[in-house]
Each structure stands twice: as structure tokens, then as C-alpha cells.
Amino acid sequence: MLRARALVCAVAAATAVSLSACGGGGVSSDDPASLAPADAPIYVQAVVRPQGKQKSDVESLASTISGLADPTGRLIDLINQGLNQNPPLSGKHLTFQRDIEPWLGDRAGIFVEGFNHAPGAGILQTTDPKASEKFIQDSRQKGDRERSYRGVRYLLSSGTAVAVVGDFLVVGDQPAFKDAVDVSKGADSLGDQGDFNDALDHAPSGSLLDVYASLEGIDKAIRANDAGNAAAFEGTVGETAGKTVLASLVPHADSAELDIATNAESRSLRLADSSNLIRDFPAAAFAAIAEPDVGETIKATLAQLQRAGVPGVSKQAIDQRLAPAGITLDDITGALGDAAIFAEGSDLRSLQAAAAIVATDPGKASDLVGNLASLALSGGGPGVSKAPVGNGFEVRTRSLGRQPLVITSQDGRVVIGYGEQATRQAFSQGGAGTLGGDPTFKQAQQALGGSTLAGYVSLPKVFQLADALGALHSSGYVQARPYLDKLTYAVIGSGTQGDFQSLKVIVGVRG
């Protein structure tokens, strides 16, 4: 069989450890995107051959994670093994260093034309088309067939086509290959599309890999297969016309960064600025994350449930249930603003968590919790008692486990806690023993740069909890554990760039 798939794997693998800065601006005629069809809903771009700090950062990160002194060399060895798994008709022993690297250009791209096994192709910039053609011929195997399309001769094997098209080597499914040839003959390219270029303008400097998605294109591809799934997709992301998402991977010597930029209007991409709340949470917390505008989130969730036909979730039905407490749904949603949630504990016995919600109107929030507490306490239910802090109540039942559920308010905050200790900590206003004073937390927050802190995870504490909860009984987890031990934190940040929202996730790595 033709070695096309091995070629794709080889270049993709080489790219994974040797990419340089992409990002920003439109594309030129020598960019692989100039050969991708205009309606491709998904496109991945990368720049091969790093230089300077970019190269040292990639090599340092790869070495730290893999534990290998020369991860690039090891990967090239695996590529060479794959290239010679089935001897070619030429009888030549192929190597990446001799047969690919000399002609491989600076840029590579892959486009996909839909879902459910939709065709796709890889586009590799070549500095020497004749050498690229020679590699294709040297790789030829029994059963490969020569074909021609619009004056371009290519090899075909089991539906996979490969040929040099202008200054690019194109390899992929035959329909996608032909679409790339059509673009080379004058059809519209993705690189000429305004939405694509606007999205690329938001790629961060030093990105290792950029993944572009047209939400409009994805919506059309889904609708072509299932209108019901398309409706669900539109309900999640909102209006799709002209909307895009760009995900970029940025390597650093001591961390890996994922940046997402989108002009979609989905609430799921909006994060709250709850950095002050998170900094005040206990240093023992293994996770803390923000939730924007809890009141609006409740409204949106109920609206989705109502559209899905779930009985009993109308505003009228909910207000009837809340009437004995003297409150309405509007009282709840109107009193609750941004929130942050934290969890702590190293085993099941010590596991606790709490959500601290900033009250948009402290007086209304206090009245709301007070009414709920009066109703709960007057009902005389088993395990219900006054909260240990604030004006709320707590519930202790066997089904809740070792810790009580506490709902209370104080000092302009509403707290829903699992465990008395966590509930009290959710009201803290700084001081010793908080995340704000933790060195790893400070490092994580500094890594965000100008982005707003929206979430933090202490990965060693998460793995410690996983160990205690029985993860060590999984052979896969045990095999991964030495690599997981090299991860220090995960931090989430958010921001805006013009019409685009941005989300940033950074994972810290220690040598």
C-alpha cells in the first residue's frame, strides 16, 4: 500500500516536537491554507522548524514530560521504523533525515470537510518539489495506482491520494485531495476568507499549533446528517453565522498553555472575575473555580429544561413550590451574582466543599436565606438545625455522608457548603493560610499575565485524593502516575479582545 498515511503520521509527529510560532494575520500564496477549500469547517495549522527560544522551550518541555534526554531523537527513530514497516518497491531504506527533512518546508496544514468520516487532507509546504516527488516514488508500494485529475498526476492507494501540487505536497482522502487541486486551479480558498483571517489575528505569539473551526460550517455539516443534533448545537453555541473558534497551543519551558478565542456568544465560554474570592479560599483547597452570574445561570438552565419538555420547571410551577417560604424564583435569581466554588480534602473522610456567592443585594440575599431557614427549621425535619455561622440552616442525614449541607448568608455572601469547616472558610476575608499566600498559586496566577483568574487546580493534591479514593487499583493510572507527578497546577483565565472572548488554560510542569 501507498505510504501516504505513514507520511502524514511522520510529518505530524515531527511537527509535534518541532513547531515554531504561528499566529496572526492573513495568509500568503505559500501558506498551506491557500490550498484548503473555502468551506472547510475545521483547519489545523502548524509551522515546522523552530528557532531560538521557541525551540529550546519545546525541547525542554518535551524532555521534562517524557523523561527522555533526547525526545526528538526518539520520536524520529519511531518515524523511521514506521516508514520502513512495509518495504517499498524501490527497495530503498527510507529515513526522515534523508528523505523528508531536506524538502519539508516551514508550514503544514490539515483540513477536514465535515464529520462522520468526512474527507480530509494534509498540505505540506515543500522547498524542493522535485525531491518531494522523488520521495513519493521511492515510497511507492505494490498496488499503488497512478491517476490524473485536472492535469495533476497522483498516486492512489485504498482511497488515499498523494501528489505534489504546486509548492505543496498534498496527501489525504481522494475527494479532499481533488478539492485541494480545484483550489490550486482557481477555486476559492480558506486563506481568502475574512472569518478565517479574523480568527487567526487572535492567535497568540509563539503558538505551537492553531486549530480553527467555523461554527457555521460545523452547523451545516451536522445539519446535513441530523437536523435534531444541529438544533441542539445551535442551542448551545447560539448564532453560528460568521462565528468561529480558534484554539492555540503555546509551549513554555515550565508550562503548556491552551488559548481559545471565539466571537460566539455562548454563556459556557464566559467566566467570572472572582479572583478575590478564590484568593481568600483556604490554601488546602485542591480546586477553586468561578461561576459568573449565578442568577442568570439558573434562568438559562431552567429555560433549557423547559424547551426540552421537562415537566414542572416553568416559572409558575416553581413559584408555587416556593410560596410557603414567602419567596419567588425572581427573588432567588435577583439576589445571586458571581460565585466561586472550592473543594478540599485528601481522602473521603476529609472531603469538603463550599460555594461562595456574592449577593447583588445583600439585604435581599439575607432575607432570602432567612426565609428558607425559617421554613426548614419550622418544618421540624430530622437532622435540620441552625447553621453554625450566619443566618441559615444545616442538614445532617445519612445520605449526605459525614458532612452536613449548610445554606447560610453573612456579610454580603450566600454560602452553600458541604461541611462546617468549608462553610466558615468560604466567609474568610484573606489572612494566613489562604491560596493568596501559596507559592504555587502565585506562580499560576502570574502565568496568566493579563488574563482574569477564573479557576485554579492544585494537581498534586488532586492526584493525592485520587490515590486515596482507589485510583491506584487502575493499571493505567499507575503507569501514568510518574508523568502526572511532573504536573504542578492548572489555572484558568478569561478576557476579551474586541468582539472575541478568550479563555486560557495553563498547566505547570516541574523538572
- Rounded Cα gap, residues 487 and 363, in angstroms: 44
Condensed to tens digits (0 to 9), the pLDDT of residues 385-415 reads 999 999 999 999 988 988 999 999 998 999 9
- Rounded Cα gap, residues 110 and 42, in angstroms: 8
Extract the C-alpha cell encoding 1: 500500500
Extract the C-alpha cell encoding 483: 508523568
**44, β-bridge pairs:** 110, 211
Is the Cβ–Cβ distance between 110 and 123 less than 8 Å?
Answer: yes
What's the whole-number average pLDDT of the chain? 87
Is residue 493 over pLDDT 70?
Answer: yes
Measured CA to CA in angstroms, residue 455 lies from 149, 274, 277, 460, 503 at distances of: 52, 9, 11, 16, 11
Residue 107 banded pLDDT, cuts 50, 70, 90? confident
Rounded average pLDDT over 182-210? 94
In terms of DSSP bridges, do strands 413-418 and 336-344 run parallel, antiparallel, or are they unpaired? unpaired
Residue 422 banded pLDDT, cuts 50, 70, 90? very high
- Rounded Cα gap, residues 474 and 454, in angstroms: 32
Pick the closest to residue 276 from 290, 286, 287 (CA basis). Answer: 290
Best-predicted range by mean pLDDT (152-166, 263-277, 304-318): 152-166
Is the Cβ–Cβ distance between 172 and 124 less than 8 Å?
Answer: no
Residue 269 banded pLDDT, cuts 50, 70, 90? low
CB atoms inside a 10 Å sphere around CB 276: 13
Is the Cβ–Cβ distance between 295 and 288 less than 8 Å?
Answer: no
What is the 8-class DSSP label of residue 432?
T
Rounded average pLDDT over 134-161? 93
Rounded average pLDDT over 62-78? 87
pLDDT value of residue 47: 73
Is residue 108 over pLDDT 50?
Answer: yes
pLDDT value of residue 267: 55
pLDDT value of residue 272: 56
Is residue 104 over pLDDT 50?
Answer: yes
Measured CA to CA in angstroms, residue 185 lies from 150, 152, 169, 179 at distances of: 8, 10, 15, 10
pLDDT value of residue 6: 45
Residue 475 banded pLDDT, cuts 50, 70, 90? very high
pLDDT value of residue 25: 45
User: At what angle are helices 4-18 and 71-83 packed, to 10 degrees?
Assistant: 170
Least confident of 145-159, 320-334, 353-367, 433-447: 320-334
Rounded average pLDDT over 331-341? 89
- Rounded Cα gap, residues 123 and 180, in angstroms: 9
- Rounded Cα gap, residues 175 and 113, in angstroms: 10
Condensed to tens digits (0 to 9), the pLDDT of residues 10-66 reads 454 444 444 333 444 457 788 999 999 999 999 999 977 777 787 888 888 888 888
343 residue type, one letter:
A
Pick the closest to residue 462 from 309, 347, 333, 303 (CA basis). Answer: 347
The more confidently predicted of residues 152 and 511 is 152
Stated pTM of the model: 0.86
